[in-house]
Structure 1
Amino acid sequence: MYENRLYEALKEEMLQEITQTDKREGSFVNDIISTSAMKGEEVWAELSRAVGVFFKKDCTGEYCDRFAEEYGITRKNGKKAKGTVTFTGEAGVDIPVGTLCATSAGLMFVTTEVGSIGASGTVSVPVEAEDIGDKYNILAGYINTLPVAIRDITGVTNGAAFIGGAEAETDEELIDRLLLRLRTPATSGNAYHYLQWALEIEGVGNAKVFPLDNGPGTVGVMLITSAGRSPGEDVINAAAAHIEGERPIGATVSVYAPQEVVINIEAAIQISASTTLEAVKKEYQSLLSNYIKNSVFVLSNVDYYKCLSMFYDIPGVVAVKSFLLNGAQKNIPISEKQIQVLGSITIGGVVAG
């Protein structure tokens, strides 16, 4: 808004107002004006930043929280992923609270209860992620390391996937939730009302509401996480309890998670000597992950040619020799109660001759 209020422009404006004395570079007047113009630029810069906090879409940090608090909305602080791991070792060995276990990538988890190896040589103990975030939502078998060795413990693993982790709400997500309340007429338990109630729950990134889901007087609320995945039972139960306390009398509400349609990629590509297969795979996984996540609740299919063409957005990819989406050369349909999630990516390739 005040981009032209910079040092040179301010100095020139002030010098033009002076006509009866020496104002050349190096003169006393020029030096005084230079200092004033420098400080003036700082003032205008601060004012320009201040203007941003006047508008909800442009604000950041604590100002987002202040805007939201005016309407009874508070920022979601994120959640830690939780699950159960199984320790293997000598019978009678204790597993204290706070014992660390980890994935091969270094994601750390901490035991939250005491355990003791039984006669079977194993014990299952609840754990939670070291920190909040959806990166801790891991697949079964990913936990395989003890960062601090425990005598007579020979192994650790997780038999089931962890899906409870959630990121803290960003400024943009918080303001979008506030604007949703302001822009959509949520009254008397209409669809917008159920959507707002669902989004108030920690761990819910988005929701889809189905009026008359199972006939007259029924409502279905389908939840996903901020990572575009199906939430855990704890999130579903929390949302159901919250909606139950808010809904109009007479409505029968079902809160549930969508069915996940796993998207697997198999490709053979030709690359130039300027890149590596690992570099291409990393970039492709990032592009595909964003496409899949951003298409949840938006697109009714995963486009075969869209997924294939992403390779040509990666520097060093010369040609795609073969490409399969879930084992076939066709789009993957997604029904209204399903969501698409990224599965495995298998890429083979050769350097172009």
Structure 2
Amino acid sequence: MDELLQQLLDNISDAYDKSAGYIVYDLLKAFAIVMSDYDSEFERLKTLYDVDKLTGALLATYVYQRKGIERNPATHAIGTLLVTGSGTINKGDLFETDSGIQFQATETKVISGSGTVAIAAVLAGEIGNVGANQITQMPVTLSGITSVTNPAPTYDGFAAESDDSLRERYYLAVRTPATSGNVNHYKQWATSVAGVGGVKVYPLSRGDNTVTLVIIDQNKQPASAALVAAVQDYIDPNSEGLGYGQAPIGAFCYVESAVALSINVSVTISKDSNYTDAQVHDLVVRALTDYLKSIAFESNYVSYAAVGNVIYNCEGVLDYSNLKINNTTNNVSIGDKQVAVLGGVTIA
């Protein structure tokens, strides 16, 4: 406010008394007080035109209005329930874990002795990804059904798309225009499917008028069969090239998951005495997982130096030695259709 007041005073002739307490000064000060509030509002409004400064609903609105791109919603984890007994499981019947995470049947099925039923989490997001044999409760008794469990973990429960991911897709659309089924078009189609975290496009991979897409999920892991199927169905159902998906007629698209390249790390660590061995192990695992996510589909190798730096900068780590990645002290190459995922971490 003081700076604005001084600018106003400087623009008034010295023929007038501009001292504090005189009418010119008092009028301009009142005006400056009001305008200083507007000035702050103007600065705030300017940020609405900078996509890098927008977040949440404002970012989603900005991106949708300019490019028609919508934020990918959270998805419901899916899985299979092993049911024991004789009776009918109806679509919508509820099951849950001991901690109360609920799932519902997504199909109606008659069970005789035992059988399997497809399920989906009631709540969307990562909360629905539970371990094997965790879904064992029936909140409402189902006639003839004696027990349930999930032999395998549930999967594909993803959080709503992050601001960074949405902003990245916006820039992809702005900087690499998608037209007539070009490479950029396939990238945009694939990443618009909820749960997809990256895609590589291989034109003419199986001959003329073909394209192969290799995808990873939102967590930078190999995509599940269900996610692959969702992308396939969206772009070119059954790879028939009939134009029933986003791909144009005559374009045969084949969607695959990236293949996991397991990265096993062994290292000797000098740890801070304020941390337990288990805490340091968990922190190192988390940091290495984040590093591998950051290079997924971005780098063709796992850097030995970068892994060492990640470990060294972990909380609880004072120093390290004897680092090996997949039993070597070299960079580890990542194949063209591979994604590096953390395997075992051994700390001595």
Q: TM-score, normalised by structure 1?
A: 0.77
Q: Is 1:110 aligned with 2:103?
A: yes
Q: How far is 1:196 from its partner?
A: 1.6
**From 48, 56, 60, the counterpart of 1:64:** 60
Counterpart contact for 1:101–1:156, Cα < 8 Å:
no
1:286–1:231 Cα change, 3 Å: same
Aligned residues of 1:85 and 1:126 also touching (Cα < 8 A): yes
CA spacing shift, 1:315–1:66, aligned 2, 3 Å? closer
1:31, distance to aligned residue in structure 2 (A): 8.1
User: Contact between 2:95 and 2:138, CA under 8 Å: does it hold in 1?
Assistant: no
Per-residue deviation, 1:222: 1.2
Give me the whole-angstrom Cα distance separating, in 2, the residues matched to 1:128 and 1:238: 15
CA distance in 2, matches of 1:248, 1:44: 51
Per-residue CA deviations over 1:19-65 (Å, capped at 9, x if unaligned) read: 626527xx999888766555433322221121122233333323532
Identical positions, percent:
28
Q: Which residue of 2 aligns with 1:129?
A: 121
What's 1:101 paired with?
97
SS at match of 1:246: coil
User: Which residue in the other structure is 1:253 paired with?
Assistant: 253
Q: SS of 2:35's equivalent?
A: helix
Corresponding residue for 2:221? 229
Q: Give the match for residue 141 of structure 1.
A: 132
Question: Which stretch shifts more, 283-292 or 10-19?
Answer: 10-19
1:78 aligns with 2:70: no
Q: For residues 154-303 of structure 1, what are the structure 2 equivalents within 5 Å?
A: 157-244=149-236, 245-303=245-303
- SS of equivalent to 2:94: coil
- C-alpha deviation, 1:316, in angstroms: 3.8
CA gap 1:242/1:330 in 2 versus in 1, 3 angstroms: same
Q: Which residue of structure 2 aligns with residue 4 of structure 1? A: none
| Native 8 Å contact 2:17 2:24 kept in 1 | no
- Aligned match of 2:335: 335
SS in 2 for 1:339: strand
Identify the residue that residue 9 of structure 1 maps to in structure 2: 3
Bigger drift between 236-245 and 32-41 goes to 32-41
| Alignment RMSD | 3.7
SS of residue paired to 2:118: strand
- Write the distance in 1 (CA, Å) between the matches of 2:219 and 2:315: 27
Gaps of 5+ in 2: 237-244
TM-score, normalized by length of structure 2? 0.78
- Could you say if the C-alpha distance between residues 304 and 189 of structure 1 is closer, same or farther in structure 2, counting changes exceeding 3 Å? same
CA distance in 2, matches of 1:147, 1:265: 42
What CA distance in whole angstroms lies between the structure 1 residues aligned with 2:178 and 2:2? 51
1:21-100 correspondence runs (5 A): 23=20, 37-60=32-55, 61-86=57-82, 91=85, 97-100=93-96
Q: How many residues are treated as equivalent by the alignment?
A: 332
Note the C-alpha offset of 1:272: 2.6
Compared CA separation, residues 137 and 262, structure 1 to 2 (3 A): farther
Structure 1 segments unaligned to the other structure (5+ residues): 1-6, 349-353
**2:63 and 2:70 in contact (8 A); partners too:** no
- What SS does the aligned partner of 2:67 have? coil
Residue of structure 1 in register with 2:317 after alignment: 317
- Give the Cα–Cα distance (whole angstroms) in 2 for the partners of residues 173 and 93 of structure 1: 45
